């Protein structure tokens, strides 16, 4: 299991490096295209992003910041009428966000591995405490600790860790009564509780990242469908209608699954489908209607990703509040002891 986890982590790291390399290639191309049309100040912004990513091990925070700068530049270019260049920068933004997600996944895998290593270390230390107690003839206390050990395995779940902590506290209470190794055992139990929180955080982050990836894939499907619809409209001479779809493509070039943007695009697609139907272009209307369906599905996926992120934030805030209350309780206990 440990070897498998290491392989998974290495694979995640390779994925992050691959994404960063793709971002650098895209950034170089965008920089050159901006310079070619005389947009030198804008090219310098992209060159700055290149420099920030040159190490190829940029963390998600750096990549998110770069994506934000790219989004801002794309909007400025759009406002100045440089539609094609804006779409190019938006595509760069999409690659930056993909690289950020890959980096977050690698970080999460590393955190998971660390938590499992800490759990294994705590189990090993508990086994040593149990062995020492058995040598002293206290097989009852040793048996209680071994109950905790048996709840653990190479890949413990949050529930396993929480159950082990509960049983561990029982063993600590017994040891306190006997005046034997209670402090040492208590430290191990505290470590199990910390590990349970870490594993829960990893689990929550995995859910959020998975939903974000689903949302991005949904936008990718929309872009592929939009490209096909645009080509089919051009093929039958419906150039103005094709330009409407091309506009939707440009609005989604960053692959950002923003539900508001996607809903707006779906509304425009619905309106276009109706116009085509009224003009007798039944097949083309059906194609655009399919595009509308994919846009609405992508919007739903984006909204679900947003909700998962909010849910994670709420859980983190709840844990922080519990931690603060525990600190207050500990301080009160200490003050009572000193009275």
Q: 83-104: per-residue pLDDT in tens? A: 888 888 888 888 888 888 888 8
**DSSP of 265-313, one letter per residue?**
HHHHHHHHHHHHHHTT-HHHHHHHHHHHHHHHHHHHHHHHHHHHHHHHH
State the chain's maximal CA–CA distance in angstroms. Answer: 93
Residue 253: closest CA among 73, 60, 38, 21? 73
CA pair distance 244, 230, nearest whole angstrom: 9
Phi/psi at 274 (5° precision): -65, -40
3-state secondary structure 132-164: HHHHCCCHHHHHHHHHHHHCCCCCCCHHHHHHH
d(CA 66, CA 99) in angstroms, rounded, equals 11
Residue 210 has pLDDT above 80, yes or no: yes
Rounded alpha-carbon distances, angstroms, from residue 63 to 50, 67, 209, 259, 312: 11, 6, 15, 22, 21
Task: Tell me what pLDDT residue 17 has.
Answer: 58
Give 140-163 pLDDT, tens digit per residue.
888 888 888 877 766 677 787 888
**Contact criterion met (CB below 8 Å) for 90 and 254:** yes
Q: Mind listing the pLDDT tens digit for each residue in 51-85?
A: 877 765 568 888 888 888 888 898 888 888 888 88
Place of tokens 């470590």: 191
* pLDDT of 318 above 60: yes
pLDDT more than 70, % of the chain: 88
Calculate ∠ Cα 146-149-152, nearest 5°. 155
* CA-CA-CA-CA torsion sign (187, 188, 189, 193): positive
In the predicted model, what is the mean pLDDT of residues 27-49? 90
Confidence of residue 34 (pLDDT cuts 50, 70, 90): very high
Share the mean pLDDT of the chain.
Answer: 82
Pick from 22-36, 170-184, 237-251: least confident: 170-184
| Residue-level pLDDT at 7 | 42
Confidence (pLDDT) at 334: 61
Residues 6+ apart with CB under 8 A from 6: 113
Residue with the bigger pLDDT between 54 and 139: it is 139
């Amino acid at each position: 299991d440990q070897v498998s986890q290491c392989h998974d982590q290495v694979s995640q790291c390779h994925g992050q490096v691959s994404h960063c390399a793709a971002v650098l290639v895209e950034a170089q191309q965008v920089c050159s295209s901006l310079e070619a049309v005389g947009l030198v100040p804008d090219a310098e912004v992209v060159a700055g992003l290149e420099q920030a990513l040159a190490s190829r091990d940029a963390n998600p925070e750096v990549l998110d910041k770069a994506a934000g700068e790219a989004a801002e530049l794309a909007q400025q270019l759009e406002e100045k009428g440089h539609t094609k260049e804006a779409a190019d920068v938006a595509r760069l933004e999409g690659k930056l966000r993909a690289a950020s997600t890959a980096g977050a996944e690698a970080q999460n895998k590393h955190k998971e591995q660390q938590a499992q290593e800490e759990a294994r270390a705590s189990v090993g230390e508990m086994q040593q405490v149990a062995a020492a107690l058995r040598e002293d003839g206290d097989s009852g206390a040793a048996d209680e600790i071994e109950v905790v050990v048996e709840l653990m395995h190479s890949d413990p779940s949050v529930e396993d860790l929480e159950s082990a902590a509960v049983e561990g506290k029982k063993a600590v209470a017994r040891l306190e009564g006997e005046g034997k190794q209670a402090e040492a055992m208590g430290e191990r139990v505290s470590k199990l509780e910390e590990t349970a929180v870490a594993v829960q955080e990893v689990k929550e982050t995995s859910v959020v990242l998975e939903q974000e990836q689903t949302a991005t894939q949904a936008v990718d499907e929309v872009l592929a469908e939009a490209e096909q619809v645009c080509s089919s409209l051009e093929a039958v001479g419906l150039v103005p209608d094709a330009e409407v779809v091309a506009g939707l493509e440009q609005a989604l070039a960053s692959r950002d699954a923003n539900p508001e943007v996607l809903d707006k695009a779906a509304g425009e697609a619905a309106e276009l489908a109706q116009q085509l139907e009224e003009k007798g272009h039944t097949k083309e209307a059906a194609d655009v209607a399919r595009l509308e369906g994919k846009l609405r599905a992508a919007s739903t996926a984006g909204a679900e990703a947003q909700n998962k992120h909010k849910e994670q934030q709420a859980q983190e805030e709840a844990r922080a509040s519990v931690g603060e209350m525990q600190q207050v309780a500990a301080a009160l206990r200490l003050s009572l002891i000193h009275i």
